[in-house]
A and B are shown apart, each in its own frame.
Chain A
């Protein structure tokens, strides 16, 4: 398998909601960047522009 194919496979797995279980187990802690976290990030409104003070 080529590197690009491995990247595509990983992306597809992530989009299907699969988590790197082995990595979580090895690290012994939950990961932050889960598919749900990224979905929440996508739904978040963009940061409003700061209004400049006249004074």
Chain B
């Protein structure tokens, strides 16, 4: 009898696992908005956290990413739920801004759309594939075209006449040594 060695979960196995092991599966500790903000501001005041935050700001990490990291950490610890974390992100971001300003630090907000290409008629036409004849720019000579081709090592010979039969035989080593010596004399 062939034993099937399937390495896959049994249907319904998730109902048997003890999900209470994970903090985010238990009811959150904080459910109040102000309490959540208080907790996060308190954490930012701790030396090890503030050092890390200041270092990240100096490394030009966007403030939005720092806030998202803080929130993820707190959600992972079961402090508060995801929806409350998203709501508390605003005041925490503003608090980080204030800290950075008070310490004279330059920072990246992370709210700018740096990677976004602005929508203009030209970009829209390019995206759709419409090409106007009027907008076509005149072709410019590329640097390779400017270089004189006759000056290269692989240039084409000026004369197109074939080499004589004697020369070809000499190049191929078919001529006798005596004949070569006679020619040399």
How far in angstroms is the closest Cβ of chain A from B91? Answer: 4
| B67 interface residue (CB < 8 Å to A) | yes
| B169 interface residue (CB < 8 Å to A) | no
Given the interface pairs A7-B68, A8-B111, A42-B101, the reply to whether A14 lies near B86 with Cβ below 8 Å is: no
Report whether B68 and A35 are in contact in the complex, using a CB–CB cutoff of 8 Å.
no
Number of interface residues of B (CB under 8 A): 26
Q: Which of A1-55 contact B (CB under 8 A)?
A: 3-4, 6-8, 10-15, 20, 23, 27, 31-33, 35, 38, 41-42, 46
DSSP majority for the A interface? helix
- B interface residues (Cβ-Cβ under 8 A, vs A): 32-34, 37, 64-65, 67-68, 71-72, 82, 86-91, 93-95, 97-98, 101-102, 110-111
Known: A13-B90, A33-B88. 17 other contacts (CB 8 A): A4-B64, A6-B86, A10-B87, A10-B89, A11-B64, A11-B89, A11-B93, A11-B111, A15-B93, A15-B94, A32-B34, A33-B37, A38-B94, A38-B95, A41-B95, A42-B97, A42-B101
